[in-house]
């Protein structure tokens, strides 16, 4: 393809956009809306998966023991637990160590616990168990529940399952919504291009009559669709980058302020933004090209 021909296609495509500014703007906004929703959902799902992986990597089973347990039973229990399949770490925390640690964590507020001594300590002795893989946690928890002198078993598996359910619901609902929005975008772009085709129907007929190929006629409209699609993807990318940047630094500030919560520990900006940009640009361009080709399929039969 000659450079002069490419320039002609580009010029005609730009002119097509200018002829229908209001419809072109509607096309750009519709694509940007669809991609923005897609980007927002993917950002949430990426971070939910990140939170789940973080919880799974620190997944622990805590065994709270009866107050009447003896030191001999504790040693025997620790040896038994260490031999269970999937157990990589076992640590016994006495009630006295737990109280001292609690006071330390409270800092200046630790004086509120000064009334508690070794004799009236309300905290139980407990074991902390860590699993090699998340799939071992259920088995370890079941084994722990049948041990003698175990009062209660806590572990974070239900939290992980809850987060995974939310992520799956978001994926399904998000994909459905995005598909609907993308379909609407294709319709709007194709209608925008149809208006241009109708306004140039006589010109297209003359070009066909003198021997112009279908693709020679089609290319300016493909360029128009490409420009609309890329404009929508750039607009949605800018919105996603700006909003995620603000949310990330807000959550980062909360963590620095002492809010040690997993849901505030978001993925880095580059871990979310770059993958989305790699999807948005070709997807927006593809939507524009498909819509332009689709809108022309009947009108070239002149």
188 in Cβ contact with 194 (< 8 Å):
no
Closest CA to 97 of 126, 68, 71: 126
Collapse the DSSP code of 114 into the 3-class scheme (helix H, G, I; strand E, B; otherwise coil) and give the result: coil
What are the pLDDT digits (tens) for 227-285? 888 898 899 889 988 888 888 887 766 655 544 455 556 777 788 888 888 888 888 88
Distance CA(220)–CA(5), nearest Å, equals: 10
Distance CA(283)–CA(43), nearest Å, equals: 17
The whole-number pLDDT of residue 57 equals 64
Q: Could you give phi then psi for residue 250, rounded to 5 degrees? A: -65, -45
Element (H, E) at 60: strand 60-65
The whole-number pLDDT of residue 17 equals 75
Which domains, from first to last, does the chain contain?
3-55+160-296 (no CATH), 60-155 (3.30.70.3040)
Which residues of the chain have a pLDDT value below 70?
Answer: 1, 55-58, 106-119, 156-157, 159-160, 163-164, 167, 185, 189, 192-193, 195-197, 199-201, 203-204, 252-265, 297-302
Distance CA(145)–CA(148), nearest Å, equals: 8
The whole-number pLDDT of residue 108 equals 67
How far is C-alpha 63 from the chain's CA centre?
34
The whole-number pLDDT of residue 58 equals 66
What are the pLDDT digits (tens) for 144-167? 888 888 888 887 667 667 766 776
Distance CA(203)–CA(19), nearest Å, equals: 15
How far is C-alpha 28 from the chain's CA centre?
24
């Amino acid at each position: 393809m000659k450079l002069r021909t490419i320039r002609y296609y580009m010029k005609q495509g730009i002119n097509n956009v200018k002829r229908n500014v209001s419809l072109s703007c509607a096309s750009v906004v519709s694509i940007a809306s669809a991609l923005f929703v897609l980007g927002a959902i993917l950002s949430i799902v990426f971070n939910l998966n990140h939170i789940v992986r973080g919880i799974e990597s620190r997944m622990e089973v805590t065994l709270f023991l009866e107050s009447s347990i003896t030191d001999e039973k504790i040693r025997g229990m620790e040896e038994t637990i260490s031999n269970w399949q999937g157990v990589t770490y076992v640590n016994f925390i006495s009630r006295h160590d737990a109280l001292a640690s609690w006071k330390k964590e409270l800092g200046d507020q630790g004086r509120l616990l000064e009334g508690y001594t070794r004799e009236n300590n309300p905290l139980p002795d407990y074991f902390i168990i860590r699993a090699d893989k998340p799939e071992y946690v259920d088995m370890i928890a079941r084994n722990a529940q049948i041990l003698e002198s175990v009062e209660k078993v806590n572990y974070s598996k239900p939290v992980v399952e809850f987060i995974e359910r939310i992520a799956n619901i978001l994926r399904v609902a998000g994909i459905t919504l995005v598909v609907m929005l993308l379909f609407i975008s294709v319709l709007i772009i194709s209608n925008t291009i149809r208006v241009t085709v109708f306004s140039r129907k006589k010109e297209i007929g003359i070009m066909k009559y003198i021997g112009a190929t279908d693709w020679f006629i089609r290319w300016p409209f493909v360029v128009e669709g490409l420009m609309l699609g890329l404009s929508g993807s750039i607009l949605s990318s800018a919105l996603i980058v700006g909003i995620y940047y603000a949310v990330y630094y807000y959550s980062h500030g909360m963590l620095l302020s002492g809010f040690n919560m997993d849901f505030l520990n978001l993925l880095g900006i580059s871990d979310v933004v770059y993958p989305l940009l790699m999807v948005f640009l070709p997807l927006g361009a593809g939507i524009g090209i498909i819509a332009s080709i689709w809108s022309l399929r009947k009108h070239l039969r002149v």
